[in-house]
């Protein structure tokens, strides 16, 4: 870090993500704008269907409603600023705005990780204990799990943001990303960050690996129960109820693991931006599409909300 004044304090950062694609800025703006509008419309559609369809007033779809709302907020933290910067010559963000964006990004991201794990537990109870499902997954437990996921997620985000903002930034202020994420910001710190990076890595394991392992354990019991179902049709229906959730699980935790659970690499920043597009844009779009296109109950409820005829056996 030689050549920089260690007594200086950085008051703003420059987000240089996608700056190497100057001739494509307008095209990227149009693409991200269309994707953002699609995300908002898709998640709003899912939430509307769940609200107006009594058949979807179950814990599973209650969790999906909260996840869709959280995903919408999650993208709101990132994409609007990205759209502004794609059309702007100056791509600066103040230190306080950067810290705020980091906090809410981490808060909603952590909350989503825990919510997806809660949905895995819901599937476990529904398939392994169907007769006791309504007794176990009552309204009180559902609200408690959602509240615990949210409070824990934002508490971890507060701890992580405090660790990062407590570092000393004195020299370079060019963040090699299109938003304020942990690793690109930490790279600009002037002081030794090894201890804090270890703490942040431990938090990443808590947020990503612990829920993922709980989901795997849940699905271990689920698969064992499904294999005991005598009819092939029963097995097919049981697997179908889990297919949507499993798709979201592997995409969500897979992308998060690539970014936050791998060894440090100085050459990985550009690739990180491509992966970041997946978990900040593609995943929030994937959730409503997967749950609507692969879920017969949602498709039937959508037809009813739109007043379309519904085929009955």
CB atoms within 10 A of CB 230: 7
Task: Please check whether residue 243 lies inside any domain of the structure.
Answer: yes
Q: Which CATH number does the domain housing residue 45 bear? A: 1.20.1070.10
Task: Tell me the angle at which helices 139-165 and 95-128 cross, rounded to the nearest 10 degrees.
Answer: 150
**Residue 220 — φ and ψ, nearest 5°?**
-65, -45
Rg (alpha carbons) of the chain, rounded to whole number: 22
* Strands 92-94 vs 12-15: parallel, antiparallel or unpaired: antiparallel
Split into its structural domains, the chain has a count of 1
Task: Please check whether residue 295 lies inside any domain of the structure.
Answer: no
Task: Please check whether residue 175 lies inside any domain of the structure.
Answer: yes
Task: Please check whether residue 158 lies inside any domain of the structure.
Answer: yes
Count of residues for the chain?
A: 313
pLDDT band at 4 (very low <50, low <70, confident <90, very high): very low
pLDDT band at 286 (very low <50, low <70, confident <90, very high): confident
Task: Please check whether residue 87 lies inside any domain of the structure.
Answer: yes
Its sign, for the CA torsion 91, 20, 286, 41, is positive
Taking residues 36-40, report their average pLDDT.
Answer: 92
User: pLDDT digits over 153-198, tens only?
Assistant: 999 999 999 999 888 888 778 888 889 989 889 988 888 888 999 9
Q: Would you say 226 and 239 are in contact if contact means Cβ atoms under 8 Å apart?
A: yes
Closest CA to 102 of 167, 44, 41: 167
User: pLDDT digits over 126-160, tens only?
Assistant: 888 988 998 999 989 999 999 999 999 999 999 99
Closest CA to 291 of 228, 223, 234, 241: 241
Task: Please check whether residue 272 lies inside any domain of the structure.
Answer: no
Closest CA to 222 of 200, 245, 199, 255: 245
The phi-psi region of residue 166 (left if phi > 0; otherwise alpha if psi is between -120 and 50; otherwise beta) is alpha
User: pLDDT digits over 91-106, tens only?
Assistant: 889 989 999 999 999 9
Q: Where are the beta strands (DSSP E) in 56-169?
A: 92-94
Q: Which two tokens stand for residue 32?
A: 């991200």
**Residue 92 — φ and ψ, nearest 5°?**
-90, 155
DSSP symbol at 20: T
Which one is predicted more confidently, 310 or 205? 205
Identify the pLDDT of residue 305.
65
What is the average pLDDT value for the chain, to the nearest integer? 84
Alpha carbon 248 to its chain's center: 10
Q: What does pTM read for this prediction?
A: 0.87
Identify the pLDDT of residue 311.
63
Identify the pLDDT of residue 270.
60
Q: What angle do CA 297, 299, 303 make, to 5 degrees?
A: 115
**Residue 294 — φ and ψ, nearest 5°?**
-100, 5
Taking residues 17-22, report their average pLDDT.
Answer: 74
Identify the pLDDT of residue 232.
78
Task: Please check whether residue 287 lies inside any domain of the structure.
Answer: no
Task: Please check whether residue 7 lies inside any domain of the structure.
Answer: no
Identify the pLDDT of residue 310.
61
Distance CA 87, CA 127 (A): 50
Identify the pLDDT of residue 2.
39
CB atoms within 10 A of CB 8: 12
pLDDT at 294 over 70: no
End-to-end CA distance of the chain: 71
Which one is predicted more confidently, 3 or 259? 259
Non-local (6+) Cβ contacts of 202 within 8 A are none
Identify the pLDDT of residue 268.
47
Identify the pLDDT of residue 99.
93
Q: Would you say 126 and 241 are in contact if contact means Cβ atoms under 8 Å apart?
A: yes
Identify the pLDDT of residue 21.
72
Taking residues 256-278, report their average pLDDT.
Answer: 70
Full domain range(s) for residue 183: 12-264
């Amino acid at each position: 870090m030689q050549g920089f004044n260690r007594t200086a304090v950085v008051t703003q950062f420059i987000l240089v993500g996608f700056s190497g694609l100057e001739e494509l800025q307008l095209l990227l703006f149009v693409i991200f704008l269309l994707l953002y509008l699609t995300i908002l419309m898709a998640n709003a559609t899912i939430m509307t269907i769940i609200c107006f369809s009594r058949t979807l007033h179950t814990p599973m779809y209650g969790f999906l409603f909260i996840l869709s709302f959280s995903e919408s907020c999650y993208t709101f933290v990132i994409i609007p600023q990205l759209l502004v910067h794609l059309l702007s010559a100056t791509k600066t963000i103040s230190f306080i705005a950067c810290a705020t964006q980091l906090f809410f990004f981490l808060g909603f991201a952590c909350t989503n990780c825990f919510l997806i794990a809660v949905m895995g537990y819901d599937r476990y109870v529904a398939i392994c204990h169907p007769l006791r499902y309504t007794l176990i997954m009552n309204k009180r437990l559902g609200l408690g799990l959602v509240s615990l996921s949210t409070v824990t997620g934002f508490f971890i985000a507060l701890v992580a943001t405090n660790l990062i903002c407590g570092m000393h930034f004195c020299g370079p202020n060019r963040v090699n990303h299109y938003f304020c994420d942990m690793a690109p910001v930490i790279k600009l710190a002037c002081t030794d960050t090894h201890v804090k990076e270890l703490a942040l890595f431990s938090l990443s394991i808590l947020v990503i690996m612990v829920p993922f392992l709980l989901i795997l354990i849940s699905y271990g019991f689920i698969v064992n129960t499904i294999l005991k179902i005598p009819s092939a049709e029963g097995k097919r229906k049981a697997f179908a109820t889990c297919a949507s959730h499993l798709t979201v699980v592997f995409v969500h935790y897979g992308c998060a693991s690539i970014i936050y659970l791998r060894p440090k690499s100085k050459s990985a920043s550009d690739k990180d931006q491509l992966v970041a597009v997946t978990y900040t844009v593609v995943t929030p779009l994937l959730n409503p599409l997967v749950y609507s296109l692969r879920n017969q109950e949602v498709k039937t409820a959508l037809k009813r909300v739109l007043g379309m005829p519904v085929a009955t056996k």
